[in-house]
């Protein structure tokens, strides 16, 4: 599948992969800081943004999409930065194109299975939007508020609502969300440098996840950003950038 992407700058390539319900713009605050010294590539995963839609939504297929683009762009010595779902896609990429990847950064995600309840309210609200065929932002906001979604979550989702329709494939994501929460440990541990950035107020990386991280990524470093939730890169951009630059220089 040919993914939509944005390419900027020159130098060693850094590939940015967004999370579920997002798009390539979600990591703009990181990519624009690096494009003066690196080639930055931001992608829309399948069923997101301007990339094609598919009934298949598993890590293997998503990773193969990214690998296809990497080969198309002749990317080598690649640094991959993935947030949430994008981090899990990055994990899978270590199994299919390890030789082309130099370093990996996972933002607030661990190589573990997550409960499907983590986005239960969002899934319920989106299902309601589809069922009611809502195409007016004001109606969507009102309905999502009734479902108990925070204003921050609503505004994030609406970044992917254009011209009366969702840019992500809500139907397939809802149907296959359990697959996105699942995880099978890597068949081959990835021994190259890996950085895990953990939001201090987020439940996505906990102390209990550390053994799974180090088992699959033996040379991992974990950095904690206090006072940040799951979208740590957006909430504490300056601190995340400082961590990234410091680690990449090692």
For residue 105, give both structure tokens.
């950064």
Q: Is the dihedral of CA 77, 81, 86, 92 positive or negative?
A: positive
Question: What burial letters (b/e) apply to 155-166, b meaning 16+ CB within 10 Å?
Answer: ebbeebbeeeeb
Residue 214 · residue 120 · CB < 8 Å = no
Relative to beta strand 161-162, strand 165-166 is antiparallel
Beta bridge partners of residue 223, listed in sequence order: 197
User: Which residues are marked as active site?
Assistant: 84, 230
**Rg of the chain's alpha carbons, rounded to an integer?**
17
């Amino acid at each position: 599948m040919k993914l939509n992407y944005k390419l900027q700058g020159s130098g060693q390539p850094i590939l940015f992969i967004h999370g579920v319900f997002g798009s390539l713009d979600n990591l703009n605050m990181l990519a624009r800081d690096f494009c003066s010294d690196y080639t930055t590539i931001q992608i829309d995963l399948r069923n997101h943004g301007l990339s094609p839609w598919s009934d298949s939504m598993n890590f293997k297929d998503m990773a193969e999409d990214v690998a296809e683009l990497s080969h198309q762009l002749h990317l080598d010595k690649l640094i991959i930065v993935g947030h949430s779902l994008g981090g899990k896609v990055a994990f899978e990429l270590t199994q299919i194109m390890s030789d082309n990847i130099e370093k990996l950064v996972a933002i607030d995600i661990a190589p573990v299975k997550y409960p499907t309840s983590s986005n239960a309210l969002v899934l319920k609200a989106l299902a309601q939007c589809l069922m009611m065929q809502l195409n007016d932002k004001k109606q969507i906001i009102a309905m999502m508020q009734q479902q108990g979604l925070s204003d921050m979550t609503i505004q994030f989702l609406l970044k992917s609502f254009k011209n009366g329709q969702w840019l992500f494939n809500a139907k397939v994501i809802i149907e296959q969300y359990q697959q996105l929460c699942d995880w099978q440990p890597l068949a081959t541990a990835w021994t190259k440098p890996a950085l895990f950035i953990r939001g201090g107020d987020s439940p996505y990386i906990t102390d209990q996840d550390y053994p799974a991280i180090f088992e699959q990524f033996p040379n991992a470093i974990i950095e904690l950003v206090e006072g940040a939730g799951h979208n740590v890169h957006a909430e504490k951009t300056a601190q995340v950038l400082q961590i990234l630059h410091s680690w990449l220089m090692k």
